[in-house]
Structure 1
């Protein structure tokens, strides 16, 4: 299946039978499923899950309720339903309604759409006396939006006489979700104990839905007594709640790398670090060489794409690697490798 605008049908590649929604089709309303406007533009690429559901974002014209955007789901039978919609009520907020009902992260990998049909997204909301008006929401067909994290709310982990910070503006936050509905996200904070020295962090939810801190700016990197993290990128979460991420360091002479948290307070596991030498040829991961998301699977193995130095004459190549939960590094492919049909 593909979710495509009519203008994206290319001769010889797709037929009309491949299209499950196109501009001009009716958009379902929240309550009855009857028409509430027409799809006018698909603003992000579609997402599949393992259950055969497709998630897509769309703009809508001609809505009698002026609900002009949203996230929609397509079943394997082709039925289109709402996940979220602009002006959809937010139960946790007095007179609250979604501002857009759309997520800027919905086409990124890892997918913020799980096999149960739950989508996690970030949006602004309207409401009575709310100025800190961004949040992370979880929605599904007929359920939601459930407000998981709100701008201005306290970060977990505060102790008596100290603060662990408050969540800053969440708009633009990348967030992902596993099949248990547990989320992981990287965010900025304010009102922290150490100001700009500890105001970036990754958080997750535990099996009970409670927020937990995965890693924080200034936290010491594994194996160092003096050097800490400065920022975090490319996170993913598996169904066990393990979170993989790329961590930058405060000291330019200290390597960046990929790390895994079990989400239980145990020490971080090192997956790889820049400058690390591997193999019999003395090749190494190039400094600032990570060029893809660090995705983690159910066994705790992490896949990533990196630039490497061949250790001989400075030739730089791009390769795909996996690192198993036991630390075994395997190169999957590199530029120049032959494809199965012997084409480069």
Structure 2
């Protein structure tokens, strides 16, 4: 009976990430042509689940087995975040993008001529995948499922199956990019692949290892929900100009410095990580409410989806605060999917 309970719990955790990652990555923003269409959204999970959920699960499993901390998780997430627009959907190089009517103008404002990419779009794409597609679902899981923290969710065979599904979905996305007319030169493909490899290698260096937390009074999780939400809202609303690029870099640097400061001087636990993630998801759901109406989508349908997902993010934040907010352990290693 206990063995079945453990297997069922792991299965629920796997399904939560498998479904939750694409919801975080795509559905919260409410820009897709499937927005507000329940049947189409469910059907899209056939590809988006293996793509985003599969990537999140595999990153988590690698982190668990190799003892990586959250910096390692985020470096691997950055590798995925660069691979998505640089090697799969090729939106780094396209002049059009669904849901963004003035996308070409956005790209031109910060074009890096010799590379054929936009500095602003690149930062935006990669950071969104790092924080929302991978980081947020894993952070929430870590906070709400301490039973599985630092433990594998997939067997070796399970990892092979998930990897196969992810590569199948990635192949479909790449084929769709060709259909949309996106293309990348050999130099662009080589550069993106090199960047992905560098990020993966860095994840397995000292940069990706866990850090030891301090003994100070922990930052209240409720304040971190607010901080995570305000920070992501700020990054979502910087102008698509070189000033915006500078602001994004400054915001990212400020977040890294603040988290390192807190983690070294306070008892930094899964509660704080989950709270930051929950706050970011609330902000992204709010952005989805305010987003322009996608072409061919009914206003009432979009509003219904956006409000339901916004309510869901509030519930997630409440669960994180209720489940972990009052429990802080002794001096320990900053927890992540790779360590407990």
* TM-score, length-scaled by structure 2: 0.21
Structure in which a larger fraction of residues adopt strand? 1
- Higher fraction of helix: 2
Larger radius of gyration: 1
Query: Whose RCO is larger (CA < 8 A, sep 6+)?
Result: 2
Q: TM-score, normalised by structure 1?
A: 0.20
